[in-house]
Every structure is written in C-alpha cells, then in structure tokens.
Amino acid sequence: MKRNILQLLVLFAFVILSSNANGQDTPQEDHSYKPLTLKLNESGSKYLRFIMWHQIWVTSNNLASDSKLQLTPSIRRSRILAFAQVSPKFLILTHFGLNGLTPGNQTSLGNNGDAPQLFLHGAWGEYKLHDNLYFGGGLHYWKGLTRLANQSTLNFMTLDQSRPFYAWHSLGITDQFARHLGLYVKGSYDKFEYRFAWNSPMRSPLGGGADYSSVFSADGNPASTLIYGGANNPDANGDPLGNSIFEGYVKYNLWDNESTKLPYYVGTYLGKKKVLAIGAGFFAHPNGMYDTATGEHSGVSHFAVDAFLDMPVKNGAVNSYIAFQNFNYGENYISRWGGTGTALYGQFGYYLASAKLMPYIAASTGNFEGADDPINTFDFGINYFVNGHSAKITAEYHTISKDFREAGLSLNGQENLAQFRLQFHFFL
C-alpha cells in the first residue's frame, strides 16, 4: 500500500505542477468566452441558455488492499442543459446526459447490453406568481434537507459530492438520479430563501429498497425487517399508501444573497462573492417504509441544519461547510446511502489566487442504529483552476472506513476503502 501511495503522490505532483507550469497565461492566450446564449429579443431579456460539461476521471483500485496498483479511466458525467426565459412570467428547463461510463460497462457499439445511456435528468416548467413566489413542476431538482442536496455539479469545492451520499440520501431510492417527479414552490424575501416540494416516489427503488444492516452484522443476519418500498405495497384493504413525499429547505443569507433562478447551489465562488448562510430542511415520506414481517407501513422523517461560508480574503478565498443530518427510516434500518441515526459532514478549502490552487479537506461520520461502529470518511484534495470552474483539474485521496456498502465487501472482509481520484473538468 505504501508503494502505491508513493506512486500516486508522484503522479499527483506531476499533473498539478506540469499543468500549472504549462498553463500560465501569456499575452497571446485568451481564456474568456461569452455564455452560450441565444437572444430571443433585441434587449436579451428573452433568451435560450445552453450549458454543457464533461467530468473525466482516473481512479485507482482500493489502496487499502495489498493488490497491485491499477488505474481506470471513466466519464463521471457528460451533460447538456438548456433553459429558456421567454417571458418574465415563465421559464422552461431541460437537462439530459450520461453518468458513470467505464471500461467495465461499455458495449461494443454503444447501443447493446446494459451500458450507461443518455437519459433525462431534469424537465420542468415554472411560473412566476409574485416577485417572491414561483411555482413549477416536472422532473425537478428543488430539494429539501440541506444545501448539498441541491448542489451544482459544475462548481464543486471538493472533487465531487461527498460519498456515502448522505446529502443525496434519496438517490435511486425514491428519485431518478436525485430528481423527483412533482411540484414545487420557491422564492426569496430580503435575506431569506425557501424551496418546498410535493413529489411522488419512484416505484422501482435501487435494490428494491432493501435493508443493508445484514452486511454490518457478524452473523450476516439483518437487524431490521423493513424495506423502503411502502409505495409498492398496499395496505390490508388493498389501498395504495406512501405515494407522497414532502421536502423543503429554508436559508438565511447574512451577507450576499445567492441566485434562486435555478436550484443548483454553488460549491465555491472563488472569492467573487461573500456568502455566509444558515439553513435548515426536512424530508418526510409518510408510509414510505414497509415491514415485511408484519405487513405494516411506517413513515420516513429526516431533518438537518447546515452552514455555508465562502468569502474573499487577502490572497484568495476561503470556503467551509458543515451539516448535521438526522435520519429516521425505522428501527435499525440502513439504507443504500444513509440509515436510521445521524450523519455529520464538514469541509474546508483555501483558494490561493496567484497559484490558481485550492487545497481542501472533507470529512464525515455516520452513526446508525443498525451498525456497531461509526462510518467515517476523510478526503484530502487539491484543485488547479486552469480557467476557474470552466476548466480545472482536481486530485483527491478518498477514504471510507467501516462502510461495507461502499467497499462492496462483508464485515469479515476488507473494512476500508482508500482510493486516488483524478478529475479533468470542462464546462461551457
């Protein structure tokens, strides 16, 4: 393992230093560009805006094992998003793309087998009811609970969303890749922002909504008889239950306000804004759980509080975030991403503007009823901003301990996951 880490540190230093050396601006180079916008009137108040991005990864195998170092390329995301403001009263958005293309799931011609495909990530329309109130619906991303649940994938401060996906706790369980079908209201008043949604859960949850407590058990027996599939199981009278999800998030901005046109919260502004925000949110799914032993339904109820800081300093900018989440699925239940119990997450980064570098650390701990030990993560990484978030390179050392879902291993096997991840990010 020590040899693997040394090799990766050399690669890490080579990529960052060579990119920094070769990427210095010269008078002949011009990295600026205008957003890909089609004006629909002379003033530009009516427009169609296009956004596209790629995130290309190189990841190592599990460095916590004694196996020989292997590096694997992949496409983490390849997306296209378009939204149109054709009237002050309404907006339309369409977002589609691909996730997780690897050598292991490619197919010979791209249209056979079970390879990742382009699919719809978002499709919603929105009406302005008042200056501080908007109403919309469709396959949307106006989520509750925390800021990171609504995080943009274009401008992470870290390499990616923290994993396990505590922030995207419903990903693939009740939603399609973190997007629900439903209706929402959103708006802002002075320093306050709000977003609330009513959604209908997806009917084919990842893994059938199974309980994962068995992989944390020495004898392999589950600690819960619950599954997250209440919407698929009628009550004793044959009536459907669990068809509604309610979620929301409210935030107070102590300094600069943030845009609420789109749902995607910025990871870091790199010193272009001064933001200090305190938030609180919830996620409720009445009758969302089903007890396979008793045939009874029960509810899901989560709540969270968080705080976000991103501000310029003399030589660049600082970024920090902390979130406390309380999950309640039912006694001893462990989901694909969370579990009944609590999770604490924090991150800190420092942007060195003159060098275009931003080193960071991130850590989380999850304490769940169905697991004997806490699940801990620690990430250390560095961003090199070739041209802000439009072109950047990120290298990260990513670790998870005692999470047998993430490592794909049993309690009696390898307990830890350690991985080197390198990302090339491009966005226009």
Q: Encoding tokens for residue 63?
A: 């460095």
Q: Which of 100-109, 192-201, 244-253, 394-403 shows the lowest mean pLDDT across its residues?
A: 100-109
Domain count, the chain: 1
pLDDT digits 0-9 by tens, 378-402: 999 999 999 999 999 999 999 999 8
Quick check: helix, strand or coil at residue 250? Answer: strand
pLDDT of residue 414 exceeding 80: no
* Segment 344-354 mean pLDDT: 98
Query: Going along 119-200, which residue ranges are E strands?
Result: 119-130, 133-140, 180-189, 192-200
pLDDT of residue 64 exceeding 90: no
pLDDT digits 0-9 by tens, 68-106: 889 999 999 999 999 999 899 999 999 999 999 999 888
At 290 the pLDDT is 97
Confidence bin at 3 (pLDDT 50/70/90): low
Q: How far apart are CA 106 and CA 128, in angstroms?
A: 43
At 316 the pLDDT is 97
* Segment 43-59 mean pLDDT: 95
At 106 the pLDDT is 85
Cα–Cα nearest to 349, from 318, 386, 372: 318
For residue 138, being part of any structural domain is answered with yes
At 133 the pLDDT is 97
For residue 31, being part of any structural domain is answered with no
For residue 76, being part of any structural domain is answered with yes
For residue 46, being part of any structural domain is answered with no
* Segment 6-17 mean pLDDT: 66
Phi, psi of 209 (to 5 degrees): 70, 25
The model's pTM is 0.93
pLDDT digits 0-9 by tens, 290-300: 999 999 999 99
At 118 the pLDDT is 86
Residue in the block written with tokens 């170092």: 69
Confidence bin at 411 (pLDDT 50/70/90): very low
Q: For the chain, give the percent of residues with pLDDT over 70.
A: 90
At 276 the pLDDT is 98
pLDDT digits 0-9 by tens, 263-297: 999 999 999 999 999 999 999 999 999 999 999 99
- Share the mean pLDDT of the chain: 91
CA atoms within 13 A on the CB side of 93: 20
- CB atoms under 10 Å from CB of 74, counted, come to 19
Q: Encoding tokens for residue 97?
A: 């793309």
- Per the model's pLDDT, the better-predicted residue between 261 and 68 turns out to be 261
* Segment 106-125 mean pLDDT: 82
- In three state form, how does the secondary structure of 220-240 look? CCCCCCEECCHHHCCCCCCCC
What radius of gyration do the chain's Cα atoms show?
22
- What's the domain range around 310? 2-21+54-105+118-427
DSSP 8-state code for residue 171: B
219: left (phi over 0), alpha (psi -120 to 50) or beta: alpha
Q: Encoding tokens for residue 131?
A: 């200056």
* Segment 125-131 mean pLDDT: 96
Q: Which residues pair with 383 in a beta bridge?
A: 358, 394
CATH code of the domain covering residue 135? 2.40.160.10
Indicate the pairing of strand 416-427 with strand 47-60: antiparallel
Q: Which residues pair with 248 in a beta bridge?
A: 196, 282
At 410 the pLDDT is 45
For residue 34, being part of any structural domain is answered with no
3-state helix, strand, coil in the chain (%, to 5): 10, 50, 40
For residue 348, being part of any structural domain is answered with yes
Q: Which residues contact 123 (CB under 8 A, 6 or more apart)?
A: 93, 94, 95, 138, 139
For residue 303, being part of any structural domain is answered with yes
For residue 67, being part of any structural domain is answered with yes
